[in-house]
Amino acid sequence: MKYLHLVWAALFRSKTRTLLTLLSVVAAFLLFGMLDSVRVAFNSGGSVAGANRMVTMSRLSITQMLPYSLDAQIRALPGVKRAAYAAWFGGIYRDPKNFFANFSVSPDYL
């Protein structure tokens, strides 16, 4: 605390150096956080609940539904125990600015 005024004065003596130092410290913390999240994502891959589920969907978009006739074909495949369907559609509550996503699901979805 005795030399705090000298440290403060040295910080503003070269503003470019101070700015670059602060940016490098921020970049270091940002990179550390991103790399740590990648590590956690790779390590949690084996403990995913529902890893024995398969999801099929249209390759065009989530709003493009598959034909309903494929449900019987999917249920007939060997190894399939249950099949359910869900369709995404947009919803508006009282005002077009209040948009929210909706899913219509089959009766045995859960």
DSSP-assigned beta bridge partners for residue 93: 95
Instruction: Record the pTM.
Output: 0.43
Contact 91, 100 (CB under 8 A): yes
Q: What is the mean pLDDT of residues 94-100?
A: 84
User: In angstroms, what CA-CA distances link 24 with 17, 27, 30, 62?
Assistant: 11, 5, 10, 41
Question: What is the chain's Cα-based Rg?
Answer: 27
**Cα torsion at 60, 73, 83, 54 (round to 10°)?**
-50
- pLDDT class for 11, splitting at 50, 70, 90? confident
pLDDT digits (tens, 9 = 90+) for 87-96: 877 788 888 8
Judged against a pLDDT cut of 90, whether residue 51 lies above it is answered with no
Between 16-20, 99-103, 105-109, the lowest mean confidence (pLDDT) is in: 105-109
- pLDDT class for 45, splitting at 50, 70, 90? low
Judged against a pLDDT cut of 70, whether residue 18 lies above it is answered with yes
pLDDT digits (tens, 9 = 90+) for 71-84: 889 889 998 888 88
Judged against a pLDDT cut of 90, whether residue 10 lies above it is answered with no
